[in-house]
Structure 1
Amino acid sequence: MLPDKKPLKLAFIGGGEDSAVGYVHFSASQLDNCFEVVAGAFSRSSKSNELTAQRWNINSERLYTCWKTLIQQEADNVDAFVLLTPTPDHLAMLTTLLDKNLAIICEKSLVGGPKEIALLKQHYQADKHFLAVTFNYSGYAMVRELKHKIANGELGAIQKIHLEMPQEGFRRPPDIAGQAATPQPWRLCDGELPTICLDLGVHLHHLSSFLLNIEPNETIAEFSNHSQYPELIDDIQMLLKYPNNIKGSMWMSKTAIGHRNGLKIRVYGDQGSALWYQLNPDELELSFNDGRREILDRASQCHHAGKFIYNRMKPGHPTGFVEAFANLYRDIATSLHTFKSNKKIQSPYVFSVEHAADGLNLFKAAKESTLSSQWQKVK
C-alpha cells in the first residue's frame, strides 16, 4: 500500500473468469493494496459475469450486464475504470469515458491502429484526462535495472537493440486446466494492422522506447503466414533505425513451436552488452569489452532491483509476471493520486495515448514497407 493512501476503487469492464487477462489484472491491482475492485461488467455471458462476481466477492448490486449502465451508475463511486475487453471494443468505451472525464486504465493495445488513435484524440486532452495503458513487461525489476544502466552510460554509447517475442499458440495452443485454449476469435481477424502487432508488437515497441528513451524513425519488415489460419499475419520480422545511428530488430511470432513466450531483450553498447530473458526474470546478464561477464540479480548491488518495493520475497525466490504487473499497478496508483491532487504526473513508468500512438505508427510503417519492399519512415 502507498503510505497514507487508501486503496483506490476500480470498476472492471471485461476481464471475467473466461478472459485471458482478467484474473491477472484483478490479482496484480490488489497485490500491494493500492486498489480495490468493487464493481464490474465482466462478461457478455451472464453465467460468466455472475460467476466472476461471486469469486471476486463483488456485491451483486454492483454487478452489471451492460458497460454503459456500469459507467452511468458507478461514475461517482469509483476512482477509475479498467478496460479489459478485446482491442476492437476499446474505442467506443474510451470515448464514452473521456467525454465524462473519468479516469481510465486500459489493457494494451489501446486501439486498433492510427485511424482509431486519430478518432480518440478528438476526445482526449493530456492535461485534462487520466489514461494509463498497461504495458506490463517494463514492470520487471531487472528490466528497470537495465534502463538505469543504459541511462547511466554503463554500456557505453548504445549501438544495437534486438527484441523478440516468439510464441507457439497458433500451432500448439496452450493447455489450461486440461483443455487447449484455442485463439479468441478477435485474434484471428486482422484489421488496419495485423492483430499480432496489437497483441505482441506493442510490447516490443514499448520496451524499446522504455529502455532507449527514443523512437525508431525507419523500418523495413516482412509479414508472413505460417499457421493454419489463411491470410492471417502470424510472424513478423522487422529491422529498425533509430536516431544516433542506433540499429535494431524485432521478431514476433505465433507459430514458433517450442516457445511458450520467448520474450528476450538484447542491448549492445560500445562498452558492454546486456541480455534479459523473461523465463529467467530475476537475472540480468552483462558483458563488457574488457572480458568481464556478470550476472546481476536482486541480491546484487542493484540501483533499482534491490529496492524494498521489488522484494516482496527475498532473492532466491524469483518474481514473476503477476508481481511485475503489480509493480505497474502501484506506479499507476501513484500517478492517479497525483492526478487527483491536480499535480503534474512525471512517472517514468506510466504511459498514455502518445506512447501508444508511436507504437501503432511504427507498425503502420512496417505494413507499408512489406508492400513497397523498401525502408519506410515512421510518421
Structure 2
Amino acid sequence: MSKPQGIRYGMVGGGEGAFIGAVHRMAAALDGDFTLVSGAFSSDSDRNLRSAAALGLDSARVYPTLQAMLAGESALPADQRMEVLAIVTPNHLHAPAAVAALDSGFHVMSEKPMALNLDEALAIEAAVARSGKLYGLTFTYSGYPLVEEARVRVARGDFGVIRLVQAEYWQGWLSLPIDRDGQKQAEWRTDPARAGLGGCLGDIGTHAFHLAEHVSGLAVEAVSADLATHVPGRRLDDDVAALLRFEGGGRGVLKATQVAAGEENGLRLRIYGEKGGLEWSQMEPNTLILRWLDRPAEIVRAGGPGLDALTTARLRTPAGHPEGYVEAFANLYGSFGRALRAGAKTPAAGTVDWFPGIQDGLRTMTFIEAMIENSAGMAKWTSLAGVADARRRAQSPGRIQG
C-alpha cells in the first residue's frame, strides 16, 4: 500500500538566519509525514523571498504576511491548501497567529511558550474550542524516547509514591550582555515586548517545569520563587529558582539559568519515590539511570533490552546509534500528524500518539505567572490554581483577534 500524501503545512517565521524554524522543518520532514507548501517567513520582503527560494517553494505560495497566507491558502481547493500552520516566530506573535489560524480553519503546531501571558493563552484555548482543530506545542524534550521510558516507569509504580522531583536547566550563553550587542536570538529573548513576562523563566524554565510534571505525573500545586537578573541593564530575568509543592505531598526544586558561564544545555531531571528513583540528562539522552533502595543501580539504554513498547515506538535506530534533539522534535510532529489523520480533537494521553497540547501550554503559562507573582510579593507560596482561577474570572472575551 502506498504511503499517503504528506500533511501539507505552512510556516510563519523561521526565515533566513532563524534557528528554530529550520529545526521544525527538519523534524516535520524526518518521517516523510509532512510537506511544506507555503510560508510567510519574514517581514523583510527580500529575506522572505530568499528563504522561500532556498526551500524550493512555489513563488505563488510565498506570502508577505500571515494574514495574506491565511487568505490565500483558504482560497485554494481543499486538497491543495495547507492543513497545519507551524508558528516559529518570536513569542509575541504566537497567540495572534494561533488564534487567526484556528479561526481560519487550520490546525496549529506552535513553538513554545504558547503566548506572552495567561490571558493570551486562554484566548487560544477558546479558539481551539470553537474551531475544533488540533493545537500542539513543541516541548521538545518530552519527545525523547527515554523520557517516555521514565514516565512509563513512574506511572506503573516502579518507584512507589513519588516524594522528590528535581528539574534543572543550566545554560551560559547569556552570561555577558550580548543582547545589547545586537545578537539576534539574545535581543528578542530579553525584550519584554517580544519575549513576554519571563526571560529565562519563559525560555527554558518552562521546559524544566513541563518535564517535571509530565514525567512525575503530578501537578505542581504551589511555588515559592526567586527570579534574578544578574547582567546589569537586562530587562528580564536570566536566573530562576523555585521550591515546588506537588499534589499528594511531593516536594520539588526547579533551577533554570542562562548565566552559568560555560554550561551548554544542561537539562536534567531526577525523580525519587519510596522504593527508588531515576535520573535523565538531555546531553546524554540515550541513558536513563535507575536507583534502588534494595539493589544496585541500573543503566537503561535506548535500543537496549527491557524498554516499554511506548518507548521503542519512538526509536529509529539500533542500540548505540545516537538519537537526539531533531528526532525528539520529529516524534512530536509524528504524534501530531497521526492524531490529525485520525480526526482526534485532543492528544491521546499515555499512548504513542500523545503530544503536548493546549493543557500543557496553559499549565506552563500559569507556572510563569505564579512564579512572577510569588517572586515579586511577600507571600511564602503562590497557588497555581489560584492564579489560573483569577485570570479566568478577569478575562474578557475576544482579547486576541486574528
TM-score of the two chains, using structure 1 as the length reference: 0.91
Instruction: Quote the Cα distance in structure 1 between the aligned partners of 2:253 and 2:226.
Output: 12
Q: State the one-letter code of the partner of 2:84.
A: A
Instruction: Quote the Cα distance in structure 2 between the aligned partners of 1:121 and 1:35.
Output: 25
Equivalences for residues 225-304 of structure 1 within 5 A: 225-298=229-302, 299-304=304-309
Query: Which stretch has the larger CA shift, 135-144 or 349-358?
Result: 349-358
Distance 1:197 1:294, change over 3 A: same
Q: Show the counterpart of 1:354.
A: 359
Distance 1:263 1:281, change over 3 A: same
Percent identity between the two aligned chains: 26
Q: CA deviation at 1:344?
A: 6.4
Instruction: Quote the Cα distance in structure 2 between the aligned partners of 1:200 and 1:344.
Output: 25
Picking from 364, 381, 395, the partner of 1:375 is 381
Instruction: Quote the Cα distance in structure 2 between the aligned partners of 1:22 and 1:154.
Output: 39
Q: Show the counterpart of 1:59.
A: 58
Task: State whether residues 11 and 37 of structure 1, in contact with CA within 8 Å, keep that contact through their aligned partners in structure 2.
Answer: yes
Distance 1:166 1:248, change over 3 A: same
Q: Show the counterpart of 2:37.
A: 38
Q: What do the CA deviations read for 1:265-323 (whole angstroms, capped 9, x no partner)?
A: 0111111111101111100011100131111102132114762x433222111111001
Instruction: Quote the Cα distance in structure 2 between the aligned partners of 1:317 and 1:118.
Output: 41
Query: Which stretch has the larger CA shift, 362-371 or 80-89?
Result: 362-371
Secondary structure, aligned partner of 2:227: strand
Distance 1:116 1:180, change over 3 A: closer
Task: State whether residues 170 and 266 of structure 2, in contact with CA within 8 Å, keep that contact through their aligned partners in structure 1.
Answer: yes
Task: State whether residues 173 and 181 of structure 1, in contact with CA within 8 Å, keep that contact through their aligned partners in structure 2.
Answer: no
Distance 1:121 1:273, change over 3 A: closer
Q: Which has the higher helix share?
A: 2
Q: CA deviation at 1:14?
A: 0.7
Q: CA deviation at 1:186?
A: 2.2
Distance 1:103 1:212, change over 3 A: same
Aligned residues: 371
Q: CA deviation at 1:198?
A: 2.0
Instruction: Quote the Cα distance in structure 2 between the aligned partners of 1:372 and 1:196.
Output: 19
Instruction: Quote the Cα distance in structure 1 between the aligned partners of 2:315 and 2:63.
Output: 37
Task: State whether residues 165 and 272 of structure 2, in contact with CA within 8 Å, keep that contact through their aligned partners in structure 1.
Answer: yes
Query: Which stretch has the larger CA shift, 128-137 or 29-38?
Result: 128-137
- Structure 1: segments with no counterpart, 5+ residues: none
Instruction: Quote the Cα distance in structure 2 between the aligned partners of 1:268 and 1:304.
Output: 23
Task: State whether residues 145 and 304 of structure 1, in contact with CA within 8 Å, keep that contact through their aligned partners in structure 2.
Answer: no
Distance 1:295 1:351, change over 3 A: same
Distance 1:66 1:234, change over 3 A: same
Query: Which stretch has the larger CA shift, 364-373 or 264-273?
Result: 364-373
Q: Show the counterpart of 2:150.
A: 146
TM-score of the two chains, using structure 2 as the length reference: 0.86
Q: State the one-letter code of the partner of 1:144.
A: E
Q: State the one-letter code of the partner of 1:39.
A: S
Picking from 196, 200, 205, the partner of 2:204 is 200
Q: CA deviation at 1:189?
A: 1.9
Q: CA deviation at 1:365?
A: 1.4
Q: Show the counterpart of 1:10.
A: 9
- Is 1:189 paired with 2:191? yes
Task: State whether residues 146 and 311 of structure 2, in contact with CA within 8 Å, keep that contact through their aligned partners in structure 1.
Answer: no
Instruction: Quote the Cα distance in structure 1 between the aligned partners of 2:293 and 2:260.
Output: 33
Task: State whether residues 15 and 21 of structure 1, in contact with CA within 8 Å, keep that contact through their aligned partners in structure 2.
Answer: yes
Instruction: Quote the Cα distance in structure 2 between the aligned partners of 1:121 and 1:313.
Output: 37
Secondary structure, aligned partner of 2:10: strand
Q: CA deviation at 1:229?
A: 3.7
Q: Show the counterpart of 1:165.
A: 169
Instruction: Quote the Cα distance in structure 1 between the aligned partners of 2:311 and 2:99.
Output: 40
Q: State the one-letter code of the partner of 2:99.
A: T
Instruction: Quote the Cα distance in structure 2 between the aligned partners of 1:173 and 1:333.
Output: 40
Q: CA deviation at 1:264?
A: 0.4
- Structure 2: segments with no counterpart, 5+ residues: 386-402
Q: CA deviation at 1:244?
A: 0.9
Q: CA deviation at 1:235?
A: 0.3
Distance 1:152 1:118, change over 3 A: closer
Distance 1:199 1:154, change over 3 A: same
Instruction: Quote the Cα distance in structure 1 between the aligned partners of 2:346 and 2:122.
Output: 24
Picking from 210, 214, 217, the partner of 1:210 is 214
Task: State whether residues 190 and 235 of structure 2, in contact with CA within 8 Å, keep that contact through their aligned partners in structure 1.
Answer: no
Equivalences for residues 316-327 of structure 1 within 5 A: 316-327=320-331
Task: State whether residues 173 and 180 of structure 1, in contact with CA within 8 Å, keep that contact through their aligned partners in structure 2.
Answer: no
Instruction: Quote the Cα distance in structure 1 between the aligned partners of 2:177 and 2:29.
Output: 29
Q: State the one-letter code of the partner of 1:50.
A: L
Q: What do the CA deviations read for 1:237-256 (whole angstroms, capped 9, x no partner)?
A: 01100111111111111101
Q: Show the counterpart of 2:335.
A: 331
Instruction: Quote the Cα distance in structure 2 between the aligned partners of 1:94 and 1:213.
Output: 28
Q: Show the counterpart of 2:396.
A: none
Instruction: Quote the Cα distance in structure 1 between the aligned partners of 2:96 and 2:253.
Output: 34
Task: State whether residues 338 and 345 of structure 1, in contact with CA within 8 Å, keep that contact through their aligned partners in structure 2.
Answer: no
Q: Show the counterpart of 2:135.
A: 131
Q: State the one-letter code of the partner of 1:185.
A: E
Q: CA deviation at 1:234?
A: 0.6
RMSD of the alignment, in Å?
2.3
Q: CA deviation at 1:121?
A: 3.8
Q: CA deviation at 1:116?
A: 1.6
Q: Show the counterpart of 1:48.
A: 47
Q: CA deviation at 1:196?
A: 2.1
